[in-house]
Amino acid sequence: MRRLLPVLALLAVLLTLVAGWSIASRMATTTHRGQGLMFPDLEAVGNGVRTIELLQGDRRVLLQRGQDGAWRLVDRDGYPADMDQVRSLIAGLAQLERDQVLTRKPERHQELNLAWPDPEGRARLIRLSTGGETRPIEILLGQERISPRSTYARALQDDQTWRCRGGVNADVDLQRWMRRDLLSLPPSEILGAEWLGLRVVRRPDAPADARNVAPELFTVTAPPGPAWTPEQATAARGTLPEWPTRIEFDDVRAARPDFAPTPERTLAFDLRGARLVLEGRTEGAETWFRIRVESRPGASPPTAKPVPGDPWIPDWSAFGERVRNWEYRMPGWRVSQLERLRTDEPQPKMPDPPDLSRRDRLPPPSTPNP
């Protein structure tokens, strides 16, 4: 028996080496299979993509590229899409790299949010087409990880799933595919505002390079009669001049011939380079508006390339041409702001602080202090 012990020990060592080699071999094979781009064909045809369709649950976004190279939202009457978002989508898909082989069993696709059809609405299908008879590239994106950033993905026609290095901005939300900040002027460009007869005018002695629209920079004149109370006029002086620093929208549609603005939803702004009129009207629970621009000499030089989130100055003639054929849905917070200005309590009432005068701030001690 003692003579067999060295032999058994040697066999155990050999078996361990064989098992280790087998595991290492499988890991090397998996790593090899996981290398390379997830969708190599997309890199070659990226500039030739003509339509992009994104689907998730009951939501859908359809983008189409025109002869001029610009992308537009088909479901919003061809409204221009955010070019940066489109480029980010195509580049993100083209740069996904295979990192790890996952399951190819269809019954397990749901665990990775890669099942299709997907009644739960967790998988995202991206369909890119170059037109003609060429078969579209159909990509499914599933779960995402933040650290390290990775995405589960598979080609629709292939059951094999992968974990890929990288991420893709493929949100199936129409609002994400349009630039909703119509205008964001520097405060120094704003000279005044008008609404329902009330006029707010920039003071002649106000600094030309003011970095805000503080109420003390403006004077306010209300029409005679009970239309405006002093409190409402004061609140309007602090609110209306701020509007052109942030004009945005929640939805968009092509201009309609029967659109009839009403005074309650129409505001005018006097700017250094233009007169800007928001012609609005209420439709049910929503407020829609058009933009009319009357440019004039003396405008400040336009900003070369607007940076999202920063104030910028447009070329007023080009801006007026860009917005004149569209109607925009006013954000709810702006509608509420207008409604508050026409009440006896223009600003939202903050809750009163709790009354602590009649209660102990600390519980009494259970035993007397020594």
269, 285 contact by CB (below 8 A):
no
pLDDT given for residue 16 in this prediction:
53
pLDDT given for residue 367 in this prediction:
39
Six-digit token string for 222: 């209300």
249, 328 contact by CB (below 8 A):
yes
Tens of pLDDT, residue by residue over 180-214, are 989 999 999 999 999 999 999 999 999 887 788 99
98, 38 contact by CB (below 8 A):
yes
The residue-averaged pLDDT of 135-157 equals 93
The CA distance from 243 to 200, in Å, is 12
User: pLDDT confidence of 13, banded at 50, 70, 90?
Assistant: very low
Tens of pLDDT, residue by residue over 38-94, are 998 887 676 789 999 999 999 999 999 999 999 999 999 999 999 999 999 999 999
At 139 the three-state DSSP class reads strand
The CA distance from 145 to 147, in Å, is 6
Six-digit token string for 261: 């603005």
Cβ contacts of residue 308 below 8 Å, gap of 6+? 179, 181
96, 165 contact by CB (below 8 A):
yes
> Quick check: 347 pLDDT over 80?
no
> Quick check: 4 pLDDT over 60?
no
Six-digit token string for 145: 């990880």
Cβ contacts of residue 156 below 8 Å, gap of 6+? 116, 125, 138, 139, 140
Cβ contacts of residue 244 below 8 Å, gap of 6+? 183, 185, 189, 190, 269, 271, 276
pLDDT given for residue 245 in this prediction:
95
CA torsion through residues 296, 298, 301, 303, sign: negative
> Quick check: 25 pLDDT over 90?
no
At 84 the three-state DSSP class reads helix
CA–CA–CA angle 263, 264, 265 (5° rounding): 90
94, 49 contact by CB (below 8 A):
no
Strands 150-155 and 162-165: antiparallel
